[in-house]
């Protein structure tokens, strides 16, 4: 057991021995509702994770789980309304650290490090669904109070975990999308957070992991003086290296793992990390990994699709192994799309929501890894209308540049607008359930009620070094 730190381009332990962090993001557990919280991740999960030779779990958290104890006035009217936490900002909830403490302790028992990842900030640090703002514009960057609340939250988190060596570090903000010139807003926020964590809390022993701007892809606006380790000491810089070949679409459908295809994947990966490499800085791949087909949706093509996806996985892992890159694949557990383990089809949760999940898939209202085969033609008319109506093509180029016109149309009109009309229907499916029935749904997420994705896990096992110090 040892605190970890950054030494040049490497992560090392207190004796100076290199430690390559290889692991996974835990998933949406602390991003969503509380009713499954006791069952999503337990000691059995940590034990299985360690059995693969993996040594680090990145735990994504939503600020709602920590901030905003509802005062008595609001609780009288809305006793179960999570969103009303925002009415009482910068107030730490009672037992705020209960679930995170339990997960970190379970990992520590099995010699697995953790990284705390602030995945959702007030107002949304990006327009992505995972920022949990409900809109496509990142209001976090427009209102200083949202930023002040994140500074407050990291003061609380760092104070609580300051002396815990099994916390490898803090991932300050997941996939920010700051539209200000040269990432000025993001750089200013990072400076404030360093001041709080390093100087106020005096936590110098935890690594700080910094995502690049525009969904962890752009470091061009970052300051040059970080390379001497004075401005941002003990820091690793986080890329997210998703390969389109591992997702639905033309590139994914044709992938065979040819030298030319692998060269494209390598080129994109090297471009993402080039700013750090040119300055001798430490790189961490905080998210990556393909998604997988499911028999209930993809039928007879499922095995063929997944063989291609596992080929992408293999080729990415080979590149990372060559570079001795620390990485955290997305993700450990879900309901069957990408997880190392996933909820079995015969569990009460899947059985209860099966038809609703099928409709969501058909409508492609989930933004992540969408397959829009059944509805793409509908939204093509909106895209065409926009292109025809905008006089200068240059005006079609909005921030973030990763979102094409087509992507922006589908995100706003389908994964926000259409999805919004389905939320109440999903919520109504819980109505009338007693505590025992809710508990049965929640237990669906326990390790013993999950299936293992063997092909993925075998490749992770083969590529997981035994770099963890004893």
Q: For residue 197, give every residue at least 6 positions away whose Cβ sits within 8 Å of its Cβ, in sequence order, or none.
A: 154, 155, 158, 170, 203, 206, 208
Distance CA 190, CA 68 (A): 23
Which residue from 252, 234, 237, 344 is spatially nearest to 290, judged by alpha carbons? 252
The stretches of 64-212 forming alpha helices (DSSP H) are 72-77, 98-109, 144-161, 184-194
Cα-Cα-Cα-Cα dihedral of 111, 281, 246, 460, to 10°? -20
Is 439 tagged catalytic? no
Q: Which letter does DSSP use for residue 24 in this model?
A: E
Beta-bridge mates of residue 167: 114
Distance CA 327, CA 329 (A): 6
Sign of CA dihedral 4, 220, 130, 342: negative
Distance CA 86, CA 81 (A): 10
The stretches of 174-301 forming alpha helices (DSSP H) are 184-194, 213-216, 250-254, 259-277, 295-298
Is 448 tagged catalytic? no
Catalytic residue among 175, 245, 261, 310: 175
Burial class (CB in 10 A: 0-12, 13-18, 19+), 434: exposed
- Residue 57: phi, psi to the nearest 5? -120, 130
Catalytic residue among 67, 245, 261, 287: 287
The continuous run of DSSP H or E covering 285 comes out as strand 283-287
Is beta strand 333-334 parallel, antiparallel or unpaired with respect to 10-12?
A: unpaired
Distance CA 35, CA 450 (A): 17
Distance CA 137, CA 129 (A): 10
Active-site residue list = 175, 287
């Amino acid at each position: 057991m040892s605190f970890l730190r950054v030494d040049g381009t490497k992560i090392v332990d207190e004796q100076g021995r290199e430690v390559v962090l290889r692991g996974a993001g835990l998933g949406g557990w602390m991003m969503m509702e509380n009713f499954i919280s006791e069952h999503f991740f337990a000691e059995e999960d940590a034990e299985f994770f360690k059995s693969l030779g993996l040594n680090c779990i990145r735990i994504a958290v939503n600020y709602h789980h920590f901030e905003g104890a509802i005062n008595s006035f609001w609780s009288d009217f809305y006793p179960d309304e999570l969103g009303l936490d925002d009415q009482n900002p910068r107030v730490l909830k009672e037992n705020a650290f209960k679930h995170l403490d339990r997960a970190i302790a379970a990992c520590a028992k099995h010699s697995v490090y953790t990284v705390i990842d602030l995945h959702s900030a007030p107002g949304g640090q990006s327009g992505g669904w995972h920022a949990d703002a409900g809109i496509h514009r990142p209001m976090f960057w427009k209102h200083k109070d949202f930023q002040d609340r994140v500074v407050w939250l990291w003061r609380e988190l760092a104070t609580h975990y300051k002396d815990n060596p099994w916390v490898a570090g803090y991932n300050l903000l997941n996939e920010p999308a700051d539209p200000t010139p040269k990432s000025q807003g993001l750089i200013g926020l990072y400076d404030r957070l360093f001041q709080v964590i390093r100087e106020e809390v005096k936590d110098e022993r935890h690594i700080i992991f910094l995502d690049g701007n525009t969904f962890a892809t752009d470091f061009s606006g970052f300051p040059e003086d970080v390379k001497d380790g004075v401005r941002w000491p003990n820091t690793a810089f986080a890329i997210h290296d998703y390969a389109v070949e591992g997702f639905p679409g033309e590139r994914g459908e044709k992938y065979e793992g040819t030298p030319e295809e692998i060269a494209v994947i390598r080129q994109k990966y090297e471009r993402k990390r080039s700013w750090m490499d040119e300055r001798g800085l430490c790189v961490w791949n905080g998210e990556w990994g393909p998604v997988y087909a499911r028999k209930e949706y993809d039928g007879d093509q499922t095995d063929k699709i997944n063989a291609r996806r596992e080929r992408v996985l293999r080729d990415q892992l080979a590149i990372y192994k060559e570079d001795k890159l620390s990485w955290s694949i997305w993700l450990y557990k879900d309901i069957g799309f990408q997880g190392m383990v996933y909820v079995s089809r015969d569990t009460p949760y899947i059985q209860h929501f099966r038809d609703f999940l099928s409709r969501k898939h058909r409508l492609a209202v989930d933004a992540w890894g969408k397959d829009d085969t059944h509805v793409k033609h509908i939204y093509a008319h909106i895209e065409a209308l926009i292109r025809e109506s905008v006089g200068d093509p240059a005006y079609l180029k909005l921030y973030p540049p990763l979102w094409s016109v087509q992507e922006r149309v589908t995100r706003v009109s389908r994964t926000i607008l259409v999805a919004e009309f389905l939320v109440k229907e999903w919520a109504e499916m819980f109505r009338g359930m007693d505590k025992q029935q809710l508990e049965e749904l929640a237990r669906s997420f326990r390790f013993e009620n999950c299936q293992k994705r063997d092909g993925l896990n075998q490749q992770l096992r083969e590529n997981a070094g035994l770099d963890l110090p004893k």
